[in-house]
């Protein structure tokens, strides 16, 4: 199996984002809403938290040219549990810290 990097956001429904919907076959169950909107994810970075400790974070960038992200995130799931995965291995587990939308893309910051 080739390496598939994808984003999972908990909620109702749970949503999974990959470059292509078929990439999620075998990785998520049928109850998960699947979206082929992922453009890329940043490297996992460490930045200083409000208390001075280092906090891991990464950004997932989704394609919003169709406006689908604007619709999906009309009520941003800030605080929702989110994971960035490579196949079934969790690379970063945290929460949605922020969502920035424009006509081209949606940037989702996941912070541990």
Domain edges within the chain: 5-111
Q: What is the pLDDT, as a whole number, of residue 49?
A: 62
Task: Report the candidate in 28, 23, 27, 33 with the shortest Cα–Cα distance to residue 77.
Answer: 33
* Predicted TM-score of the model (pTM): 0.90
Pairing label, strands 54-63, 33-35: unpaired
pLDDT digits (tens, 9 = 90+) for 85-110: 999 999 999 999 999 999 999 999 99
* CB atoms closer than 10 angstroms to residue 43: 7
Q: What is the pLDDT, as a whole number, of residue 17?
A: 98
pLDDT digits (tens, 9 = 90+) for 13-52: 999 999 999 999 999 999 999 999 999 999 988 776 666 7
Residue 50, phi then psi, degrees to nearest 5: -60, -25
DSSP 70: H
């Amino acid at each position: 199996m080739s390496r598939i990097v994808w984003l999972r956001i908990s909620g109702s429904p749970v949503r999974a984002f990959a470059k292509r919907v078929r990439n999620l076959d075998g990785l998520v169950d049928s109850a998960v809403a699947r979206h082929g909107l992922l453009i890329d994810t940043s490297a996992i970075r460490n930045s200083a938290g409000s208390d001075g400790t280092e906090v891991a974070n990464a950004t997932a960038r989704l394609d919003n040219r169709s406006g689908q992200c604007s619709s999906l995130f009309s009520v941003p799931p800030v605080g929702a549990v989110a994971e960035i995965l490579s196949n079934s291995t969790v690379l970063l587990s945290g929460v949605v810290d922020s969502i920035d939308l424009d006509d081209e893309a949606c940037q989702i910051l996941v912070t541990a």
